[in-house]
Amino acid sequence: MNQLVAYFRNNIRQNGMVMALVLIMVLFQLLTGGILFRPMNVNNLVLQNAYVLILATGMLLVIITGRIDLSVGSVVAFVGAVSAVMMVDWGISVGVTIVAALVIGAAVGAFHGYLIAFLKIPMFITTLGGMLIWRGLTMVILKGQTKAPFDRSFQAIAAGYLPGREIRIGNFNTIALIFGLALSVVFVILVLNARRNKIRYGFEVIPRWIEALRILFIVFAINLLTFSLADYNGIPIVLILLLGLVSFYTFITDRTIFGRHVYALGGNAKAAKLSGVKTERVLFLVYLNNGVMAALAGLVVAGRLNAATPKAGVNFELDAIASCFIGGASATGGVGTVIGAIVGGLVMGVLNNGMSILGVSVDWQQTIKGIVLLLAVFFDVMTKNREATH
């Protein structure tokens, strides 16, 4: 038991976020009389929040460098609008449109990155300008109107499911069940491998039974999710996209030189420069990447609405930024994890969803989300202060 307490104390920031999420989920499960975890609602949670999670992942890198990007909501709308014009007006194929949309996102991100990193224009002004420019151009392109509908295959990105819905065990979608099990197995293998490596190199590892509990908890969470989804329509395609992105960016931030340079830039730009980090280039690439992620989110949003609208993506940048901060990223840079941002995004998502089910009005929803953001950051600052004085 002492070991368990020590484990939680040593990882209070990571575990704190997860515990907060679990707490909020349980709270709303009770308050909504069990509606929160109904299969259809779990499915909705995934589909509703996919875009925020994608944006939060990209925004996280920006925030680690100690900056923010206010333009992503407008880029979401802009990319949606361009895609709509390409497909609906010009009849260009879905595949080509998707590639073009991502290239446009990269170009937009590169534009912001170039101004910020190389021309040293303050990031706040640059991305505020971007926010206005891309929103404005969206309205120009759409002439203030909504453009729809899209091809089914385009909608599938945001609202489609893995095929094989008719294969069922009892009431459950077999593919989803297998997917959950496969994911669990991959996860267990990865964890055990990492543990074995650590032991082989003679490093400290957490006690075996705590590791076992941790694995059990996560495997349970994975299968709870896939079971619910199996009970409904199966695995949403956007969930696979999300899992891919989270794995990829976790790898980038944890294991690559580029990732380490991003943290170094945010931690101390001058020292990073004197250690051979090409700080301008890193900053440029981070903004470029964020443009691509915004474009991806733009495609998902357009696909889910089955329309491009001038008002798409309003305030999305704020949701993404809030997710990162709730997830433990530091406003001064140098700190933050992809998983943290995802957990932060889920906290916001569950709050939104739960309060909507309860019929809490939008104004109160905003207020409560704001309070949660402040509480999360307050908790973070307190633990950090305590660590510093230790």
Partner 1 sequence: MANVILDMRGITKEFSGVKALDDVHLTVEDDEIHALVGENGAGKSTLMNILSGVYPYGTYEGMILLEGAECSFRGIKDSERHGIVIIHQELALVPDLSIAENIFLGNEQAVTGIIDWNKTIHRAGELLNKVGLDENPSTLIGNIGVGKQQLVEIAKALSKEVKLLILDEPTAALNDEESDKLLDLLVGLKERGVTSILISHKLNEVEKIADHITVIRDGQFVETLSRGKDDFHEDRVIRSMVGREITDRWPQREHEVGKEIFRVEDWTVYHPQYEHRKVVDNVGFTISRGEVVGFAGLMGAGRTEIAMSLFGRSYGQNHSGRIYIDGEEVPLRSVDEAIEHGVAYVSEDRKTYGLFLIQDIKNNISLANLKRLSANGVINPNEEIIQADDYRHRLSVRCRGLGQTVQTLSGGNQQKVVLGKWLMAEPNVLLLDEPTRGIDVGAKYEIYTIINKLASEGKGVLMISSEMPELLGMCDRIYVVNGGQIAGVLAREDASQESVMKIIMTHQKTLVKG
Q: Footprint of partner 1 on this chain (CB under 8 A)? A: 197-198, 200-201, 203-204, 254-258, 260-261, 263-264, 267-268, 270-278, 330, 334-335, 387-388, 390
Q: Which two tokens stand for residue 19?
A: 């515990």
For residues 304 and 159, the answer to whether their CB atoms sit within 8 Å is yes
d(CA 43, CA 298): 20
Question: Can you say how many angstroms the Cα of residue 92 is from the centroid of all Cα atoms in its chain?
Answer: 29
Q: Which is nearer to partner 1, 319 or 380 (CB)?
A: 380
Q: CB nearer to partner 1: give 261 or 369.
A: 261
Distance CA 258, CA 375 (A): 32
Q: How far is the CB of 156 from partner 1 (least distance, A)?
A: 33
Nearer to partner 1, 104 or 277 (CB): 277
- Contact between 72 and 55 (Cβ < 8 Å): yes
- Phi, psi for 168 (deg, rounded to 5): -135, 145
Task: Report in angstroms how near the CB of residue 255 gets to partner 1 at its nearest.
Answer: 5
Question: Which one, 52 or 277, has the nearer CB to partner 1?
Answer: 277
At closest approach, how far in Å is the CB of 172 from partner 1?
Answer: 39
The residue (of 168 and 278) whose beta carbon lies closer to partner 1 is 278
Query: How many whole angstroms separate alpha carbon 130 and alpha carbon 290?
Result: 13
Smallest distance, partner 1 to C-beta of residue 120, A: 13
CB of 130 to partner 1, least distance (A): 28
Minimum CB distance to partner 1 smaller for 143 or for 390: 390
Please check whether residue 354 is in contact with residue 48, taking contact to mean a CB–CB distance below 8 angstroms. no
Give the C-alpha distances (Å, rounded to integers) separating 280 from 130, 259, 295, 348.
20, 14, 23, 33
Q: Are 240 and 229 in contact (CB under 8 A)?
A: no
Report the nearest approach of partner 1 to the CB of residue 261 (Å). Answer: 8
Least separation in angstroms between CB 191 and partner 1: 14
- CA dist 265 and 271 (Å) reads 8
Amino acid letter, 28:
F
Crossing angle of helices 12-31 and 338-358, rounded to 10°? 20
Write out the two tokens for 201.
């190199």
DSSP state of 147: B
Nearest residue (CB) to partner 1, 8 versus 258: 258
